[in-house]
Structure 1
Amino acid sequence: MSRDFSHAAKQRRRSDQVTLSQVAEAAGVSPITASRALNHPEKVSERTRNSVLEAVEQLGYVPNLVAGSLASSRSKLIAVIVPSLINTVFVEVIKGLQETLEAEGYQILLGNTDYDLDREYQLVRTFLGWSCSALITAGLRHNQACQTLLNNWEHPIMEVMELGKGMDLNVGLDHVAAGRCMATHLIDQGYRHIVYVGARLSQDYRAGMRYEGHQEVLKAKGIEAPLVELDTLGSLQAGAESLQQVLTLYPQTQAIHFANDDLAAGALLAAHRQGLNVPGDIAIAGFNGLPLGQHVTPQLTTILSPREEMGRLAAKELIRRLSGKNVYRRQHDVGFTLQVGGST
């Protein structure tokens, strides 16, 4: 059924923002029915719902989410804070979160810290001011101000990426164990001169956790565990440059354990350009299991982390909490898989 929205449109031009009452008037229903059609569409007829949606579209109505959250003490917004929006790892976690949350009617507010905990604190302050129903952060480490703020917040908090003592809910993997796993593989392959390469480990502390596991395994075998720390976070260029740096500092190096696949792939490509055989002259391993590593020659040996699965599981557990259901496990280990390629 077509309706004439001209009267409501004229009213709109005389006001700053379209109201729910104007939508209801244009659709020929009461404001309560219009609200029900938008927030609980299953409780109205299809004809009523279509009339309200047509009015919303024609008038350009945008619901006041903050006002709605004040009325209900809960919004349909969930804050998600990650350290990078260009790193494929976090993009895939966000994908798992977003698809699962949107299926339940939630929307995400997304923030990027650039691996800066002070910036994380500012983002948390801003997002909590929007009456979010829950908060998801990538990591368990926060500065003291942020920790205090979150301790006083009464809504669910989900910390993802690594396992540990969380503030509320936690979904991730054991990065120290992942470092042990790769170091063990390299030793089993017969390598004894092994260098670990990471970048800005004080900020990318999960890479530092993997180095801890790596170092633990090598020391248990009486093997030195040198570390080369780069200034630039994971990139192909940084990986390529680090190869020469490692071979200059440690000429006897047989294998390089990189903190991520971007660095590892960059080094592998640089080795080819220099005429080095991989793994004959130098073995190369990474972390994350990115598609890039499977499209280089030889294929990259890496640790596969289930990133989308992590996001989906975190979202499902959060939804359970928000729905008032019991959460029987506050922590979930998504695990990891050693993916052996031809590079080691």
Structure 2
Amino acid sequence: MSETTVQPTRKMTRPATVTLKHVAERAGVSPITVSRVINTPDAVSEPLRLKVGRAVEELGYLPNRVAGALASAESRVVPVIVPSLSNAVFIEVIQGVQDVLEVEGYQLLLGNTQYDLQREQDLAATLLGWSPAGVIIAGLRHSERTRAMLEAWRRPVVEIMEYGGHPIDMNVGLSHYKAGDSMAQHLIARGYREIGFIGGGLTTDYRAMQRFKGLDRSLARHGLPRRPPFTHEGPSSAQVGGDAFVRALETDPELDAIFFANDDLAVGALLRAQREGIAVPERVAIAGFNGFGIGELMQPPLTTIVSPRKQIGQLAATKLIARVQGRDDGTACVDVGFSLRIGGST
């Protein structure tokens, strides 16, 4: 029996970190030629584009856009820093931002602070190192270090979700105090007098706390009973809302209306009320905040404050791009307002 000799195949090696120099060596051209092919492909011949393209594909080379941005002090990246990715509110805001950025040829870079100001500070420091065109960041409350960084950075900054005084640069949002006051006015006009508030993580979700304060101040003006908010730690959900609703009624049987910090909690309360046989609004009225579509599908439909979330994202991105391009987009601060959607739950 004769032996078969198998010639070893030439194994294609790939550097741990692929650079433009490695691509040039694989293609048999100079690094400056590779740079020309990548950055101005129309200026080189098709055979050369194909040769360099094969080397790029074989090595898995990714052009270092960050280095280019740092060299030119320009970037087409815009970080968007939000406190949560599990909350549909911020998903709609992000979609609004992306709609505008994509049309203008910019890319969105996402950061999630989890309602932690120290985490926000760390994210800001990291993301600013990418030399972005500008930054969109949720809220007007930041650590002193974060605020100092963004002020010293001297590029466009848009603070979103709430409207108030002394923004770092630009501001697009709504007054959560006014939203809480508006809901209080509605409930009082309907004849409710024992009004409570349920929200989660109010020590960190300060915009929800602003809504409570707006409600509380309105109750004080009308000489009505005032209560501390019923609160819990952790993220909001329908399950949490249902449980908190039952506990609140057991703790304070006088309650005849409850304003929930968001629609997730309020929808959970409506579902739990149905299961427990608690009549809404005859026994207790239920109201929410955000204006999610699911509230309109509930029985009875949920009364809620509608916040224009996607519009906030679109306006913030539009103002940022206008500033980057040297155009004056009008006033630096925009109050997008809100609307009250009255359902059968109140």
Mark yes or no: TM-score above 0.5: yes
Cα distance between partner residues in 2 of 1:236 and 1:70 = 46
Aligned pair partner of 1:283 in 259, 282, 285: 285
Matching residue of 1:193: 194
Deviation digits for residues 202-255 of structure 1, max 9, x if unmatched? 211111111121112211111122133322332112211111222122211111
- What one-letter code is carried by the residue in structure 2 that aligns with 1:215? D
Q: Could you tell me whether the CA contact under 8 Å between 1:288 and 1:304 is conserved in 2? A: yes
- Secondary structure of the equivalent of 2:147? helix
Cα distance between partner residues in 2 of 1:297 and 1:284 = 12
Deviation digits for residues 25-66 of structure 1, max 9, x if unmatched? 97x99556535447xxxx879x89x97996666764422022
Q: Does 1:34 align with 2:37?
A: yes
Query: Which segment is superposed worse, 274-283 or 60-69?
Result: 60-69
Q: Could you tell me whether the CA contact under 8 Å between 1:289 and 1:303 is conserved in 2? A: yes
Higher Rg? 2
- Secondary structure of the equivalent of 2:95? helix
Matching residue of 2:95: 95
Cα distance between partner residues in 2 of 1:311 and 1:52 = 43
Sort the Cα spacing of 1:101 and 1:297 in 2 relative to 1 into closer, same or farther, 3 A: same
CA drift at 1:334:
1.3
Q: Could you tell me whether the CA contact under 8 Å between 2:34 and 2:52 is conserved in 1? A: no
Matching residue of 2:313: 311
- What one-letter code is carried by the residue in structure 2 that aligns with 1:150? L
Q: Could you tell me whether the CA contact under 8 Å between 1:37 and 1:52 is conserved in 2? A: no
Q: Could you tell me whether the CA contact under 8 Å between 2:212 and 2:229 is conserved in 1? A: no
Matching residue of 1:211: 212
Aligned pair partner of 1:239 in 223, 228, 241: 241
Query: Which segment is superposed worse, 185-194 or 97-106?
Result: 97-106
Sort the Cα spacing of 1:184 and 1:51 in 2 relative to 1 into closer, same or farther, 3 A: farther
Matches within 5 A, 1:142-221: 142-164=142-164, 165-221=166-222
- Secondary structure of the equivalent of 2:135? strand
Query: Which segment is superposed worse, 334-343 or 148-157?
Result: 148-157
Size of the alignment, in residue pairs?
Answer: 331
Deviation digits for residues 262-310 of structure 1, max 9, x if unmatched? 1111111111111111111111000001122122211111011111111
Sort the Cα spacing of 1:340 and 1:52 in 2 relative to 1 into closer, same or farther, 3 A: farther
Cα distance between partner residues in 2 of 1:15 and 1:241 = 53
Q: Could you tell me whether the CA contact under 8 Å between 1:20 and 1:35 is conserved in 2? A: no
Cα distance between partner residues in 1 of 2:266 and 2:82 = 23
- What one-letter code is carried by the residue in structure 2 that aligns with 1:77? V
| TM-score for the superposition, normalised by structure 2 | 0.86
Can you give the 5+ residue segments of structure 2 that lack an aligned partner in the other structure? Answer: 1-11
Q: Could you tell me whether the CA contact under 8 Å between 1:196 and 1:225 is conserved in 2? A: no
- Secondary structure of the equivalent of 1:212? helix
| TM-score for the superposition, normalised by structure 1 | 0.87
**Identity score, percent:** 45
Q: Does 1:135 align with 2:139?
A: no
- What one-letter code is carried by the residue in structure 2 that aligns with 1:156? P
- What one-letter code is carried by the residue in structure 2 that aligns with 1:231? H
Cα distance between partner residues in 2 of 1:62 and 1:146 = 31
Can you give the 5+ residue segments of structure 1 that lack an aligned partner in the other structure? Answer: 1-9
CA drift at 1:13:
4.0
- What one-letter code is carried by the residue in structure 1 that aligns with 2:289? F
